[in-house]
Amino acid sequence: MSSIWLRNPLAIFTGNDSDAGGGLVVDTDSGTITELVAPGRSPTAAVDSTYEARDHVVIPGLINTHHHFYQTLTRAWAPVVNVPLFPWLVNLYPVWARLTPRALELATTVAMAELMLSGCTTAADHHYLFPRGMEDSIDIQVGVARGLGMRAMLTRGSMTLGQKDGGLPPQHAVQDPDVILADSERLIDTYHERGEGALVQIALAPCSPFSVTTEIMRDSATMAQEKDVRLHTHLAETIDEVDFCLEQFGLRTVDYLESVGWLSDRSRLGHGIHFNDEEFARSTCSGCATAPRRSPPSGP
Ligand SMILES: [Zn+2]
């Protein structure tokens, strides 16, 4: 075991009432805090190294609950800056279709490095893009997360509702449901870690109501239940999406979510904005975690 004492920080937030003004000791092998040091005191056992933290504030690692690492490479693409979500997506689908394994590895590395530099130690990524040659996208992301030592929930996203069936994505961007489910099972069985200290977890993440079929929503919920993993999706991000659900399914977004078996504490929703008060209360009371924003987003 090797240890480091973060000594006498300017301030420290431990999440409990302990007075740890003298800092804390970390077991750097396991990444766990082994001692909170009282003000003016030294650690009870010898440490391998000491970091003078008097100019620093020590806080728990921040958590990013929704990201799209691959978009790091296109986020400043001038033709779509500040356009609404649907045309933003329609213009970017052909660009993203040319994603390569090396580009995804680079994008994931840059995204995770940016997050860690900001104090974030855990991130959830929603990856739903699997063009030809990118079947190992989640495998690539697992490799980057483990290499950087960042805790990550990597979600096996999916798109099954192409333009010919009334969806938004082009046909080349959608996958066969059987392929999605088989890959989802493989990824869970191969990479999903459980219990305290888990570094990488897998979740199932159909992209959004306007890009997946009701069947893949239901089948994903069933597999998540069987495998005991989380569910993630976009919901009510724009008024266009609310209108799409009414036209396509005859339901508002939260009613649609309930109809496919997703209204539970297994689910987390990204970009949830356009809920009315009743829908917001119903989704949160069910244990469904939402990250609502009351004003329209500046970007998808
Ligand atoms: Zn998103």
Q: What angle do CA 102, 104, 106 make, to 5 degrees?
A: 70
**Is 143 inside a domain boundary?**
yes
289 alpha carbon to ligand 1 midpoint, in Å?
15
Same domain, 253 and 131: yes
25 alpha carbon to ligand 1 midpoint, in Å?
37
Note the pLDDT of residue 137: 98
Same domain, 9 and 116: no
37 alpha carbon to ligand 1 midpoint, in Å?
41
> How many C-beta neighbours within 10 Å does residue 256 have?
23
**Is 296 inside a domain boundary?**
no
Query: Who's near 32: CB < 8 A, 6+ residues apart?
Result: 26, 197
269 alpha carbon to ligand 1 midpoint, in Å?
9
**Is 16 inside a domain boundary?**
yes
The model carries a pTM of 0.89
Low-confidence ranges of the chain (pLDDT < 50): 292-300
30 alpha carbon to ligand 1 midpoint, in Å?
32
Final residue before a domain boundary, out of 15, 42, 58: 58
66 alpha carbon to ligand 1 midpoint, in Å?
6
Same domain, 138 and 233: yes
Strand partners, 158: 206
Note the pLDDT of residue 291: 58
Same domain, 206 and 98: yes
> How many C-beta neighbours within 10 Å does residue 137 have?
26
> How many C-beta neighbours within 10 Å does residue 146 have?
13
**Is 300 inside a domain boundary?**
no
b/e string for 231-247 if b means 16 or more Cβ within 10 A?
bbbbbbbbeebbebbee
**Is 230 inside a domain boundary?**
yes
Nearest to 145 by CA among 77, 199, 66, 181: 199
Final residue before a domain boundary, out of 58, 84, 99: 58
Same domain, 134 and 251: yes
Note the pLDDT of residue 299: 41
271 alpha carbon to ligand 1 midpoint, in Å?
6
In terms of residue numbers, what domain contains 83? 62-290
42 alpha carbon to ligand 1 midpoint, in Å?
46
Same domain, 39 and 126: no
Same domain, 140 and 164: yes
Note the pLDDT of residue 161: 92
**Is 31 inside a domain boundary?**
yes
40 alpha carbon to ligand 1 midpoint, in Å?
46
**Is 28 inside a domain boundary?**
yes
Same domain, 54 and 200: no
Same domain, 48 and 145: no
235 alpha carbon to ligand 1 midpoint, in Å?
9
Same domain, 186 and 280: yes
Same domain, 37 and 142: no
146 alpha carbon to ligand 1 midpoint, in Å?
23
Same domain, 126 and 205: yes
**Is 298 inside a domain boundary?**
no
Question: Looking at residue 155, which CATH number applies to its domain?
Answer: 3.20.20.140
147 alpha carbon to ligand 1 midpoint, in Å?
24
pLDDT digits (tens, 9 = 90+) for 104-114: 999 999 999 99
Structurally, the chain folds into a number of domains equal to: 2
